Structure 1
Amino acid sequence: MFEGAGSDADPGESLGDLLRSWRARLDPHRIPGLVRDGRRSSGLSQKEVARVTGVSDRWYRELELDRKANFSVDFLERLVLTLRLSDAERHVLYMRATGRAPLLRPQPDALAARTMDRSMQRLLDNQLPHPAFVLDEAWNIFGHNQPQADWFPWVPYEPNLMRWVFLYPEAREQLVSWREDWARPLLGQIRYACLQNPGSEALYLLRRDVLEGNPVAREIWERHEVVEHSDGHNRRLRLPYHGEQEIAVDIMNLEPMRSPSVRFIVLMKSD
């Protein structure tokens, strides 16, 4: 049993019991690349969880067997997203797997978050049927409408857009031409934001996490490309919400005058 086990959950339940229960409740049709024939019962296998989280079958099996190992924060956070864990379940996972509580999730900039009032939510909701969301300067999502949650059900579990794009394996399947159309321009945007805001701790931590957690991102970063935030660019997606059928969207990027650090994003499905 892991050090610290029993402090945050029923001692009779092992981490393996909890993980099996959490993956059994999932709908595999909502996770890209798992269902090919259209017929499949609920729940994920150990092999499927390992694949989606980007580790070997053996590595994930060690976790379900309650064996001590050097489970990284990046892996545990990918597991939180894959299993769609609540904050309480995330806490239990960390305590059972490492004996330590997880770090607090990144929080949006306080000044930017103040723009998320009733009128801003109404504006988001009025974009239906298009997904819409608002970001702070470090790409933390602090407001969204229902289509955004439908298209991207990871939002409540990983509120930072860049962390999802670069640290979660499923993003490479959902974002078509991931390296050239998404990773390169987004890394250029991170560099531009860091140059514009050299004292921002949130941007420093985001850059560190992305580059430490993704070797392809480190390789692209060495090109020293600088890109302003995109507006009107056309990109392609392959999402479970659309039955993994490829769709194209125009990415519209707006800035509220009352808070220039906030970005209001609308994804408009192309004809």
Structure 2
Amino acid sequence: MAFPLPRGITPPEISFLAEMEMVTIMPRQRLESLELLGGLVEPLLPPRRATLPLWLALLLKRQRRANILPPSWLHPESLSLILDIETQHHDYQHAFSPPPPLPGQPSLRNLNAGTIARPRFTPDGGRYFTAPPFLPQNTVQDHVLDGEPPALPFHWLEVGTMLLDAASDDLVDPDQVRRLLKELREVRTAKIREGVDALDAAATGGGGVALTGVGAMEVGEGRGFISGVVDGLRKIGASKEQARREQMAEEIANGGYDGTQDDDDDDMEF
């Protein structure tokens, strides 16, 4: 007997996609260029930094051939600042901290900011911008815009968990990073559950829940809960509407008058 598949992609599938995120490494051994499905990987020449997919960086880390450089948002100072924005900033009491700007778009905090990624080109010369998980949101940035607060990338929870498990010695104060990630997850999960109050209006087409800045794993974990609540609200609304219609039909059958009939009677009086 086959079991029905869950809606959307599952958390293990989200983690698999997150392994395609690009990260920065410091190679410890020379390695020739590799030809992968995504294209050629630059040769590794210590002590020059290189950018590799996360799955390959983790493999080299386990083989002690490279060290992984944590992205700027995974430092304790950055995570503490993001946690303060999530909990203490008045504008984000019921919202999420702004995500990093997409390639070709200015920052949400600074409209005069430039882009953070360069366009790429297809073999035919077509110009395009990459999308998650192919954005440089987890690489080490040499140039950071002044006054630009850190932001959580789309796969922040998956990347942070993988680096803590496989490369904790490469992180700055990994115990504090693990604690801050746990607190951020709890705070943001509570905000998602608080949005249930707006789901009643969303079920009838009168509103919705703002999910700007929510990560991939958060969407995957909350999908079943949110969709279940919406389906339940729709069933409750449908049963209320059916009961109202049955009551109206019973009143008409018993000789009751609706509002239109009362208006007609008033017009016939002299």
Query: Does TM, scored on the shorter chain, surpass 0.5?
Result: no
Range class of TM-score, shorter chain: under 0.3
Query: Which protein shows a greater Rg?
Result: 2
Higher RCO, 1 vs 2 (CA within 8 Å, ≥6 residues apart): 2
Give the TM-score taking structure 1 as reference length.
0.25
